[in-house]
């Protein structure tokens, strides 16, 4: 079935739920009026429907492949990349001084959602470029910025980030890649990196890698890591892609999904690179890119869920089976209560995930535009929640989409399975669900819970205005659980981190749904909110009980007991 870009849903969330007008009222984003944003979202939606969505199945059936050291991409992906680049969608938020449009992250997030829904395998390429552009803007020398940013922003070149090594997954500090000074301001980079999304392609002139490596004599762990820019082709005197650098794609990973996205094993053999940021400051510089990517991956995940939902709804509306269970039924499986339960839950959680991601994007924009530390704290706190809830929602919705199809969902030709295969990695990308949860109850609680309590105050305010006791009681229960979590030892917090993050996210979802209901009282949004608060948010008490239970029972079984 054809993909329908949810432009009106994104605009509604921006205007009625997350207060985008505050962003447009700042001097920095004064040109990004609501009218301009709506127009750009409409154009992005058109490109997604007409150009990108038809590529999704082709990428799955005709994966990227490595031929004689050259990555050959899926049919039509080059045309899709050019459509994205020519519309300016590779780097909407980039600095206009370097060729960007200077648009807010709220717009970027909406555009990224639709591109990911249309073809996630391709959308990973602009996401990597967006993150690298931001990292270079913040940390690179003026000389590097002048050469690389215009090319990355235009889409003539694409970008990657290289963190993981075979022996160093989430423990990045265990990496072994070396950087030897060449004596001329450059460095010789040697080592191997794995899981490099879009590490090469056959439609851009150059691929620019950001690589974490260790200088001679650097201390162990993350304090000894520096960041280096290493291009596939070395720029010539005019700044164009010149001779090949000493790096290569060793192989492409054989993945469960996202077959159209080449995930590369990269080998660096004394490749020429330039340091980005300070010596030993690699993780700080890379986190600029990673935080961008964490929002992006959360958006990617529920975006795939949106496509899976549309696919399932279309199937249910045409699948005639059983006898009508309600007066005036259609004779399709839409008449059945359980199918309605699945579809309503899918739609309700997708709305919550979309609103949450845009709430985070607005906080990022306001922090950048005003320099207000409160906005930055809000953005930092919401980041792991958005990444976790977006990922888990996308996975759950895609899985439920298969269930709506019944037996046909397990048949590859219907396309339902591809959504589940493609989205599954989002709970692993850019820090697993567990790592995000631990970040939330660890680093993000370093303020004593101030950021959490500020957001819960806002939720309680919505409940009071709406006169909704369910949300008010839930917000108070999350507040009490937060206080209990703060009193726990760190490992006891970690044991409950994932359920706590989900409980907080579901409560935020109730806040967004009630705001939607108040914006359009008595309509479909109000009815959807009623269902969400009664069903999805009903899980919060159990999640909070698990979150605050500590780790004792998890260690009651020995490794031998677990193996028995």
List the beta strands (DSSP E) in 309-359. none
Q: How far apart are CA 542 and CA 515, in angstroms?
A: 25
DSSP for 183-235 reads SSS-EEEEEEEEEEET---SSSSEEEEEEEEE-TTPPSSGGGEEEEEEESEEE
CA distances from 348 to 122, 187, 261 (A): 27, 51, 30
List 359's β-bridge partners, or say none: none
Joined tokens for residue 454: 């500020």
Rg of the chain in Å (alpha carbons): 24
Q: How far apart are CA 5 and CA 114, in angstroms?
A: 6
CB atoms within 10 A of CB 268: 26
Nearest to 145 by CA among 235, 205, 246, 242: 235
301/391 Cα distance (integer angstroms): 5
430 tagged catalytic = yes
The pair phi, psi for residue 437, each rounded to 5°, is: -60, -45
Give me the catalytic one of 113, 165, 349, 430. 430
In angstroms, the Cα distances linking 88 to 85, 91, 93, 150, 188 are 5, 6, 10, 12, 34
Residue of 349, 396, 304 whose CA lies nearest to 506:
349
Stated as kind and residue range, the H or E segment containing 393 is helix 373-405
DSSP string over 420-479:
HHHHGGGGTTTS-HHHHHHHHHTGGGTTTTHHHHHHHHHHHHHHHHHT-HHHHHHHHHHH
Q: Which positions are catalytic?
A: 430
């Amino acid at each position: 079935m054809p993909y329908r870009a949810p432009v009106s849903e994104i605009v509604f969330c921006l205007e009625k739920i997350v207060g985008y007008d505050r962003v447009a009222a700042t001097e920095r984003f004064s040109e990004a009026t609501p009218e301009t944003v709506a127009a750009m979202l409409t154009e992005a939606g058109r490109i997604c429907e007409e150009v990108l969505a038809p590529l999704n199945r082709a990428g799955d059936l005709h994966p990227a492949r490595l031929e004689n050291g050259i990555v050959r991409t899926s049919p039509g992906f080059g045309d899709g990349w050019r459509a994205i680049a020519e519309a300016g969608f590779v780097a909407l938020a980039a600095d206009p001084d370097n060729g960007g449009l200077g648009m807010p992250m709220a717009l970027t997030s909406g555009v990224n959602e639709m591109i990911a829904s249309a073809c996630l395998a391709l959308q990973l390429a602009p996401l990597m470029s967006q993150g690298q552009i931001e990292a270079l803007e913040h940390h690179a020398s003026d000389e590097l910025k002048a050469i690389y940013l215009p090319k990355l922003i235009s889409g003539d070149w694409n970008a990657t980030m290289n963190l993981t090594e075979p022996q160093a997954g989430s423990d990045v500090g265990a990496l072994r890649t070396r950087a030897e000074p060449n004596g001329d301001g450059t460095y010789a980079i040697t080592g191997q990196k794995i899981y490099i999304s879009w590490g090469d392609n056959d439609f851009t002139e150059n691929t620019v890698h950001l690589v974490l490596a260790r200088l001679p004599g650097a201390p162990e762990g993350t304090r000894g890591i520096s960041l280096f820019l290493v291009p596939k082709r070395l720029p010539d005197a005019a700044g164009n892609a010149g001779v090949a650098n000493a790096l290569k794609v060793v192989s492409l990973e054989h993945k469960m999904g996202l077959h159209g996205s080449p995930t590369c094993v990269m080998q660096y053999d004394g490749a020429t690179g330039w340091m980005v940021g300070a010596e030993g400051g690699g993780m700080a510089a890379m986190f600029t890119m990673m935080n961008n990517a964490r929002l992006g991956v959360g958006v990617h995940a529920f975006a795939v869920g949106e496509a899976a939902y549309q696919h399932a709804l279309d199937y249910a509306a045409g699948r005639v089976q059983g006898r009508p269970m309600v007066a005036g039924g259609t004779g399709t499986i839409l008449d059945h209560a359980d199918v309605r339960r699945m579809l309503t839950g899918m739609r309700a959680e997708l709305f919550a995930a979309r609103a949450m991601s845009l709430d985070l994007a607005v906080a990022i924009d306001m922090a950048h535009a005003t320099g207000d530390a409160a906005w930055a704290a809000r953005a930092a706190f919401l980041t792991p929640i958005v990444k976790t809830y977006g990922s888990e929602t996308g996975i759950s919705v895609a899985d439920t989409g298969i269930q709506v199809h019944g037996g046909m969902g397990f048949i590859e030709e219907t396309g339902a399975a591809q959504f589940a295969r493609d989205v599954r990695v989002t709970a692993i990308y850019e820090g697993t669900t567990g790592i995000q949860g631990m970040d939330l109850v660890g680093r993000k609680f370093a303020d004593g819970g101030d950021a959490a309590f500020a957001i819960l105050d806002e939720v309680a305010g919505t409940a009071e205005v709406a006169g909704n006791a369910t949300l008010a009681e839930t917000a108070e229960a999350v507040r009490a659980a937060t206080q209990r979590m703060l009193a726990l030892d760190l490992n006891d917090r970690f044991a409950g981190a994932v359920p706590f993050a989900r409980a907080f996210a579901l409560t935020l979802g109730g806040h967004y749904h009630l705001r939607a209901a108040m914006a359009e009282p008595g309509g479909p949004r109000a009815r959807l909110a009623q269902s969400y608060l009664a069903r999805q948010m009903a899980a919060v008490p159990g999640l909070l009980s698990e979150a605050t239970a500590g780790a004792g029972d998890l260690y009651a079984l020995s490794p031998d007991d677990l193996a028995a």
